[in-house]
Amino acid sequence: MVHAKKYGESGPALVIIHGLFGNADNWHSIAQSLAEHFTVYCLDLPNHGASSPLEDATYPKMASAILAWANAAKLTSFYLLGHSMGGKVAMQMAAMAKPNQIKKLIIADISPVDYQPGHTEIFKGLKAVNEADIQSRKQADTILSQFEPSLPIRQFLLKNLTKKDNNFSLVISLDNIANSYATILKKPEISAPIDTPTLFIKGEKSNYIIADYQNAIMALFPNAEFKMIPGTGHWLHAEKPAAFTGLVKRFLSK
């Protein structure tokens, strides 16, 4: 089961997929802005938010889950936007979807390449939160701060914290994600170039899209164009939402 939050009732469909450790709520403000022009669906990926757990979370399996949701929602054609890991899922979907089902594709700060591990301490911190008897968000943040010094990153991670009765817990299938992490770091499984019009948006300070990756991108997405948002890192949509939504609207309305 894939959980979705819908914004707006008119305009073409736009599906948004979050990144690793995220959920649909990360995109709430941007979805509200885009809902003036589109019917926006923000999804929880498998193992995240209110969506079902998924063992061995490969990109084809995650893409199949989202495409099955789209078919059940009767979305015969739609725009697709994915950030980070969600961008790789979106690329995989573009490779697996029916012809013309995905009209345009937007990839936020990720490339179709293999990446090196970089979340070891975050896994440890989230596991520590999971195993503790959490009575408050402050207590969870204190535990997580022993593993992740950045307050904005901790605030992002702790958006997965929900209250039930008097206790807090994480709505994330941490073991499944950890067991699938080596696969998540790899590039999507795409065997042929994808002609879908595609926009890659890079955060200026981020190293997830760099010049060395351009050949890999263009080999798989020959109909791609690139934009950069100055002064932003990997969380470019949260750091400069107005600039980000402006790029999205212009690309999709062309």
Query: In the structure, what pLDDT confidence band is assigned to residue 234 with cuts at 50, 70 and 90?
Result: very high
Are both 57 and 107 inside the same structural domain? Answer: yes
**Residue 205's domain is classified under what CATH number?**
3.40.50.1820
User: Which of 33, 84, 111, 173 is flagged as catalytic?
Assistant: 84
Number of domains in the chain: 2
Cα 155 to the center of its chain, rounded Å? 17
84 is catalytic: yes
Cα–Cα distance list, 210 to 90, 115, 206, 243 (Å):
19, 12, 8, 20
Are both 33 and 98 inside the same structural domain? Answer: yes
Are both 141 and 211 inside the same structural domain? Answer: no
What is the pLDDT of the chain when averaged over all its residues? 96
Are both 27 and 134 inside the same structural domain? Answer: no
> What pLDDT was estimated at residue 166?
83
Give percent of the chain with pLDDT exceeding 70.
100
Query: In the structure, what pLDDT confidence band is assigned to residue 225 with cuts at 50, 70 and 90?
Result: very high
> What pLDDT was estimated at residue 10?
87
Query: In the structure, what pLDDT confidence band is assigned to residue 196 with cuts at 50, 70 and 90?
Result: very high
H-run or E-run covering 164: strand 161-164
> What pLDDT was estimated at residue 118?
92
237 is catalytic: no
DSSP β-ladder status, 102-108 and 78-83 = parallel
Q: What is the pLDDT of residues 19-53, one digit of tens each?
A: 999 999 999 999 999 999 999 999 999 999 999 99
Which residues constitute the domain of residue 169? 120-179
Are both 38 and 157 inside the same structural domain? Answer: no
Are both 109 and 197 inside the same structural domain? Answer: yes
Are both 197 and 219 inside the same structural domain? Answer: yes
Mean pLDDT of 178-182: 97
194 and 181 Cβ atoms separated by less than 8 Å: no
**The last residue of a domain, from among 129, 153, 179:** 179
Q: Which amino acid is at 146?
A: Q
> What pLDDT was estimated at residue 164?
82
Are both 30 and 111 inside the same structural domain? Answer: yes
> What pLDDT was estimated at residue 184?
97
Q: Which amino acid is at 80?
A: L
166-187 burial code (b ≥16 CB/10 A, e <16)? eebbbebbbebbeebeeebbeb
Q: What is the pLDDT of residues 124-150, one digit of tens each?
A: 999 999 999 999 999 999 999 999 999
Helix ranges (H only) for the chain are: 28-34, 59-72, 85-96, 120-131, 137-144, 151-157, 174-184, 214-220, 236-239, 241-253
> What pLDDT was estimated at residue 59?
98
Number of Cβ within 10 Å of residue 46's Cβ equals 25
User: Which of 18, 48, 83, 234 is flagged as catalytic?
Assistant: 234
Mean pLDDT of 112-134: 96
109 and 202 Cβ atoms separated by less than 8 Å: yes
> What pLDDT was estimated at residue 162?
93
Are both 160 and 195 inside the same structural domain? Answer: no
